[in-house]
Amino acid sequence: MTTKVTRAVGVDIGGTGIKGALVDLEAGGLLSERVKVPTPHGAEPDDVLAAVRVVLATLGVTDADIPLGVAFPAIVKHGKTLSAANVADTWIGFDAEHFFEQGLGREIHFANDADVAGVAEARFGAARNVEGLVLLTTLGTGIGSAMLHNGQLIPNSELGHLPRPNRSTDFEAWAAYSVVEREELSWKKWAHRLQEYYSYLEFLLSPDLFIVGGGISKSADQYLPLLELRTPIVPAVHRNNAGIIGAAALAVA
Ligand code: BGC
């Protein structure tokens, strides 16, 4: 008889912070405190691995008995990271899943950070039982995206890197929350940029629902009401914990 796995650890590696917690896979919530350390400057693989070790040691979950999911801010295909927008270029074409497994001495499940947030919201949050196309975007250091169709993830969509029509930058470089901090934009000015971004996504993909994740989703009432879209737009139920919860959930999928 096999026993059902009801707990797993999720680690969400971001451009600014690395967060982790023990997750209840039935309720879709955190069972432990949320541990966060800064992403090491330059985000080279060895330094990121050392930081992940600190998160696991602080959580007291260094043994391999509890499944571990790790989310990363890059395209992830067959365990390899294929891009590096907010981490060191070393990650491009890097066998990251194998690297973490060797370094941590255990198996892990490895996926894109926005994709796992999408999985968390599909199982336990705003995308649950939603039919059609759901686009989750994370607004943080970068802009990540998860595309879900009838609850099924279409991975590595990278919609933050869509080029702005007739401009030289992509949307991430112009509308991510890190840009708001850097340029000290007001909510209104940021909402203006988000309006352009979400209108463009709406035109291209005709989604049924937008979900906004990332750390700043906790202040959604400051900027989401300023947007005028045909598509409903809501904050992620699990806010910035969606990445941790989704990473953990995928570890036992
Ligand atoms: C990366 C994505 C990631 C997003 C959020 C982007 O720059 O290309 O893979 O999901 O940042 O971290």
Q: Is 36 in contact with 12 (CB distance < 8 Å)?
A: no
- Check residue 2 and give its pLDDT: 66
Q: If we measure between CA atoms, which residue out of 174, 128, 122 comes closest to residue 153?
A: 122
Residue nearest to atom 5 of ligand 1 (CA): 144
Instruction: Name the stretches of the chain with pLDDT < 50.
Output: none
CATH of domain 7-115+242-250: 3.30.420.40
- Check residue 203 and give its pLDDT: 98
CATH of domain 129-236: 3.30.420.40
DSSP class of residue 40? P
Structure tokens at 100: 């973490």
- Check residue 63 and give its pLDDT: 80
Q: Beta 76-77 vs 80-81: how paired, if at all?
A: antiparallel
- Check residue 1 and give its pLDDT: 59
- Check residue 222 and give its pLDDT: 97
Domain range summary for the chain, segments of one domain joined by +: 7-115+242-250, 129-236
Pocket of ligand 1 (CB under 6 A): 14-15, 73-75, 83, 85-86, 112-114, 138, 142, 144, 158, 160-161, 172
Query: Is residue 34 exposed (0-12), middle (13-18) or buried (19+ Cβ within 10 Å)?
Result: middle
SS3 category, 201: helix
Distance 104 CA to ligand 1 centre (A): 24
| Ligand 1, pocket-test mutation among 92, 136, 143, most atoms within 8 A of CB | 143
- Check residue 45 and give its pLDDT: 98
pTM to 2 decimal places: 0.97
Distance 74 CA to ligand 1 centre (A): 5
